[in-house]
Amino acid sequence: MVGSHPLSKKLTTINTFSLLKSCTTIKHLKQIHAQILTAGLSPDTLPLLPTPLASFSLSNPLDIDYALSLLHPFGPTQKQFIYNTLIRASSKGPFPQQAFSLYTHMLKAGVSPDHLTFPFVVKSCGRICSLKTGEAIHGSVVKFGLEIDSFITSSMITMYANCGSLDRARKFFDEMLKPNLVSSNAIMAAYVKSGELAKARRVFDEMHERDLVSWGTLISGHVHCGESKEALEAFRAMRDDGFRADEVTLASLLSSCSELGALAQGKQFHAYVYKHHIHLDTILGTSLVDMYSKCGGVEIAFRLFCTIPSKDTLAWNAMIMGLAVNGHGETSIGVFLEMERERKRPDEVTFVGVLCACSHAGLLDEGFKQFDRMSSVYSIKRGVEHYGCMVDLLGRAGRLKEAYKLIESMPIEPTPAIWGALLNGCCIHGNLELGEQVGKTLIKLEPHHSGRYVLLSNIYANANQWDDAKRVREMMREKGLQKAPGCSVIEVKGHVHAFVTGEKEHPQMRQIHAILEEVGKRLALAGYAPDASRVLFDLEEEERENSLLYHSEKLAMAFGMISLEPGVPIRVVKNLRVCGDCHSATKMMSKLFGRKIIVRDRSRFHHFEDGSCSCKDYW
């Protein structure tokens, strides 16, 4: 009905403001513009038109011709403001190159850029990694005498770093007469996007004053470089310095907790959000979902996920993957189907999570179905990770020939990780012939990857081909390679403790050994016999059994037993795949000692309780 259209009412200055605020499409904006002109309203309403136009450009291409048409009635000062508004929006949107078009039109129109123009033009150079354009803009900055502006200089530093010219960024910083807080933060961030954390730390230590951005950059740098413990220590120092973490810093800290499996610390950060009334936006909510999932608290993660008001693709992906690695494959698929019902478009990461769920739960038919749908329904190009999940799914299910044929049919070059998934399947199912072939292929591809030799050696050992197994181990020694040591971490009372296989240095090692001996005795009485088949075969049988007793996850579990109150779950994170012996022993330990034990290895979670594991021995 005509009468229901908002523009059918008599246009006034007051309701024009209201209409512009509710404007959602470029077509609607043009209708309002036409009404303003025909109604002869106050010119005060015209400068408001670029604001919704700028808002649209954050997610859509900017209608530059229309944008320029809005400028005709205005003088130089108003034109400068409108150009700056549109350039700023373009620099943040999906088409940053539009900022250059607007900047060029600005100069042609005789409108001078100012200190608010260049930071966003320079930012656009960095986003499209155009060093040549950035250098030209740098020349314009000097021409207009704005090279001393702190926000412009920090933008220049970031731009040069993003364009791969970190030396130019540092030179630009060093030539500043008085580097200020903004420029120091910029060079710090530049060293962190480049992995130069030691240099970023030196800049941080030399700063006369620091703000939240300085601390946040340092913390994110530690996270970026995989130094999760150091990130948490930096937060404590930041707190002692009188600063509170914001949403961005908290997201980085939660990522550190995720990597360490530090659930107690993660819960403290969750409480910190509420204590300091920090807005729980989609990014922070997703970080919490990811943290709880990666710390084995998937039930809490799911409840939190349900409270996120506007879930984006990242939030859905975090929940789908979180459920997948915790052994809830069918629930993970259910969340994916709900995502489709909500008309949220999945991306390539979504399907990695879906296929991972199918692999860990042995859902063959569902895996093939979704592998097909990602291209047939969503036109998403299959990548290496998707093929890797399918090879893993087939390999775990014992359909090794099909997995091999899938690799051969790949339109992209198979990576060592894909061959490694097949080799793991051969090891699980004892396929010596194919395992030998794949193992030799892998060793050619990655001659310095110790894990490939170990798996091939295990395949030979399981087939009682001890000479071949010994030959592979000798190849390792000749190349100076050693098996990656098992390392497990456990959080107790807010502190993270790390153990390596055969650990002797921990201050409570005597008590740990005593509890492990008690564990060994009770397991033996319950009928448990150590499975030493995959321990180095050049050890005597008694030595093999003893080495199994001191695997890193068993040391961490024993420390948890003497340090945590009964009834408190023992949570361990391991860098390698859990071995068969530790898996069997931990199932029995959970029953004999009445403890819930949660182990996260390099690919999934194992929730041990009352003598069984959530993986149902399928991992």
Give the up-direction half-sphere exposure of residue 438: CA atoms within 13 A in the CB hemisphere: 33
Cα–Cα distance for residue pair 47/471, rounded to 1 Å: 79
Give the pLDDT band of residue 4 (cuts 50, 70, 90).
Answer: very low
Tokens linked to 178: 């008085």
| Structure-block tokens of residue 278 | 């920090």
Rounded Cα–Cα distance for residues 441 and 427 (Å): 15
Residues in the chain: 619
CA dist 236 and 190 (Å) reads 24
pLDDT in tens, 558-599: 999 999 999 999 999 999 888 888 899 999 999 999 999 999
DSSP letters spanning 484-495: PPPEEEEEETTE
Provide the pLDDT for residue 12. Answer: 58
Query: To 5 degrees, how large is the angle CA 377–CA 383–CA 387?
Result: 90
- Reduced to 3 states (helix: H, G, I; strand: E, B; else coil), residue 424 is helix
State the number of CA atoms in the 13 A half-sphere of 376 facing the CB: 6
Mean pLDDT across the stretch 48-54?
72
Residue 199 vs residue 68, higher pLDDT: 199
Tens digit of each residue's pLDDT (9 = 90 or more) over 195-226: 899 999 999 999 989 999 999 999 999 999 98
Query: Would you state the pLDDT for residue 150?
Result: 81
- Coil vs helix vs strand at 318: helix
Question: pLDDT tens digit string along 156-174?
Answer: 888 888 888 888 888 888 8
Best CA proximity match to 610, nearest among 594, 601, 599, 602 = 594
Q: What is the pLDDT averaged over residues 260-275? A: 93
User: What average pLDDT does the segment 337-362 reach?
Assistant: 95
pLDDT in tens, 270-280: 999 999 999 88
Residue pair 315/286 in contact (Cβ under 8 Å)? The answer is yes
* pLDDT (tens digit per residue) in 532-553: 555 544 433 433 445 677 889 9
For 572, the enclosing helix (H) or strand (E) is strand 570-574
Q: Output the CA–CA distances (angstroms, integers) from residue 600 to 286, 591, 603, 604, in the order listed.
A: 20, 19, 8, 6
pLDDT tens sequence across 289-330: 999 999 999 999 999 999 998 899 999 999 999 999 999 999
